Copies of this chain bind each other. A is one copy, B any other.
Amino acid sequence: MEGYTYLLSLCVILLSTKIFSILSRRAQLPQVVGALMAGLFFGPAVLGAITNSFFGVEFCLKPSLLLNRMAELGVIVIMFTAGMETNIEELRASGKVGFVVALAGVLLPLGMGAGMMYCFNSKISLESAVFVGAVLTATSVSITVETLKELGKMSTKVGNTILAAALIDDILGLICLTIITGFGGEDVNLGLVLIKIVCFFMFVGAAGIVYYKYMSWSDRVQAERNLRRYPVIGFAFCFFMAWAAETLFGVADIIGAFAAGMIIALSPKGTYVASKFDTISYLLLTPIFFANIGLEVELPSMSYELVIFTVVLVLVSIVSKLIGCGIGARLCKLNSRQSYQIGLGMVCRGEVALIVAKKGMAMNLISGDDLGPIIIMIIVCTILTPIFLKRAFEGHDDIAGNTIFEDNFMIADQADEIAEDIFERKLLLDMRKQQYIA
């Protein structure tokens, strides 16, 4: 009966993330924290350490290929919907600021990370030291996006700057990784990588034009109301762009999904399509994504030195991003509160850092012992970012963007109420029918 455990895992994930989210909201924390804690609690780190099974039934969640894949789908859907919700005008306005923030937010963690490695081990090779620095460069924007959406701050200047910076940050991190792996002796050509990235953006432009033209044509030709095809085509487009980004251009798949979302938002029926991914996200994929991060953590038996290393690594990763991005924002004349918010929003690390670390291990530049501290660093950043981000936004409304977002919430709420109303009426209808039949 081994083959059916995934059903129980999905049940536990859905229930536990929901319960922990509700609890964390009651504690004035962002719900994302609760969802992460659920994975930690029901995973190998806590429940697995106490007991693996209960009356012979395995309640302890374990990482599995299915959960990993569905978590990947989850982050793709999060980035896809983030793309659909991005205000392209504001993002364009934030592009320059985003670049400065991203650049400062890559250089400082890279330098501080490498420096820290030298402090711990003066005999370490340059490549190894820089590689640990590189692990610290990549911001994982998805949790910040989820938090900002929850706070209704996604369309603010700060939100757009963080998004733009995180997008550019990913590209800079990629170039950074390419250079180091180039130094590491693999056959990666920096020029080729840069050409590929340029090609990717041209590809996004071309795909956008094709998709827009097709949708405009379809919208004109299809007199009938077969609306279902639009979300399906949009989702397929998202998968295609994610695949193409990763496979054809070596750019992260989530960037492809994000680009697809932006293209769809600008096309006919864009808002309709965007409205359809809410359910699929909160009902299945997002809970799995967050719980899955927690599941990755197995607290190994750590030496005293490794504990100190972990603490320093966590501090360096937070401080370097916060200061780096904060300085970048200040240089672009944002006020100190906004700079702090941007710095905070960029602290979050995630799957990219893990991927870089695993690549480093494969190249023998990072030792297996360092993986534990890196995972803990990611978790701590991921948990602290939304908590502090929520605090940082409290009581200070960024008026222009916020109201638009609040409108969205209001409208969604209205739609919910109308839908409920209709279904209640349908119930009445059914009851009357049954009375009529009886």
Max chain B C-beta neighbours (<10 A), residue from A243, A271, A422, A429: A243
A284 near B407 with CB under 8 A, answer: no
Closest to A430 in B: B404
The answer, among B1, B15, B283, for a CB contact under 8 Å with A231, is B283
A427 near B271 with CB under 8 A, answer: yes
B240 near A8 with CB under 8 A, answer: yes
Q: Is A209 among interface residues, defined by CB-CB distance under 8 A?
A: no
The answer, among B229, B243, B287, for a CB contact under 8 Å with A4, is B243
A23-45 contacts to B, CB under 8 A, are none
In Å, the complex CA distance between A433 and B404 comes to: 8
Instruction: Say what secondary structure dominates the interface of chain A.
Output: helix
Q: Is A170 among interface residues, defined by CB-CB distance under 8 A?
A: no
19 A-B pairs with CB atoms under 8 Å apart are: A4-B247, A4-B253, A5-B243, A8-B243, A11-B237, A11-B240, A14-B232, A14-B235, A15-B233, A15-B236, A18-B232, A225-B416, A227-B420, A272-B420, A272-B423, A277-B279, A279-B279, A407-B429, A411-B425
Closest to A231 in B: B283
In Å, the complex CA distance between A416 and B230 comes to: 13
The answer, among B15, B18, B231, B426, for a CB contact under 8 Å with A271, is B426
A411 near B437 with CB under 8 A, answer: no
The answer, among B235, B239, B282, B407, for a CB contact under 8 Å with A8, is B239
Closest to A424 in B: B271
| Given A411-B422, A434-B89, A239 and B10 contact (CB-CB distance below 8 Å) | yes
A246 near B11 with CB under 8 A, answer: no
- Encode A279-303 as 1/0 by CB contact (under 8 A) with B: 1101110010000000000000000
- Residues of chain B lying within 8 A (CB to CB) of residue A279: 231, 276-277, 279-280
Q: Is A172 among interface residues, defined by CB-CB distance under 8 A?
A: no
Q: Is A415 among interface residues, defined by CB-CB distance under 8 A?
A: yes
User: Other than the known A7-B253, A275-B423, what 12 A-B pairs have Cβ atoms closer than 8 Å?
Assistant: A14-B239, A15-B236, A18-B233, A22-B229, A65-B65, A271-B427, A272-B419, A277-B279, A279-B280, A280-B284, A415-B419, A419-B419
The answer, among B11, B413, B418, B423, for a CB contact under 8 Å with A243, is B11
| Given A243-B8, A404-B430, A411-B426, A283 and B272 contact (CB-CB distance below 8 Å) | no
B11 near A236 with CB under 8 A, answer: yes
Q: Is A75 among interface residues, defined by CB-CB distance under 8 A?
A: no
Q: Is A201 among interface residues, defined by CB-CB distance under 8 A?
A: no
B433 near A232 with CB under 8 A, answer: no
Q: Measuring CB to CB, which residues of chain A are less than 8 angstroms from any residue of chain B? A: 1, 4-8, 10-11, 14-15, 18, 22, 57, 65-66, 69, 76, 89, 225, 227-229, 231-233, 235-237, 239-240, 242-243, 246-247, 253, 271-272, 275-277, 279-280, 282-284, 287, 400, 403-404, 407-408, 411, 413-420, 422-427, 429-430, 433-434, 437
A275 near B7 with CB under 8 A, answer: no
B280 near A228 with CB under 8 A, answer: no
A271 near B239 with CB under 8 A, answer: no
Max chain B C-beta neighbours (<10 A), residue from A18, A236, A413, A427: A236
B423 near A232 with CB under 8 A, answer: no
B65 near A7 with CB under 8 A, answer: no
Closest to A13 in B: B236
In Å, the complex CA distance between A88 and B252 comes to: 49
| Given A65-B66, A246-B7, A400-B437, A18 and B229 contact (CB-CB distance below 8 Å) | yes
B239 near A7 with CB under 8 A, answer: yes
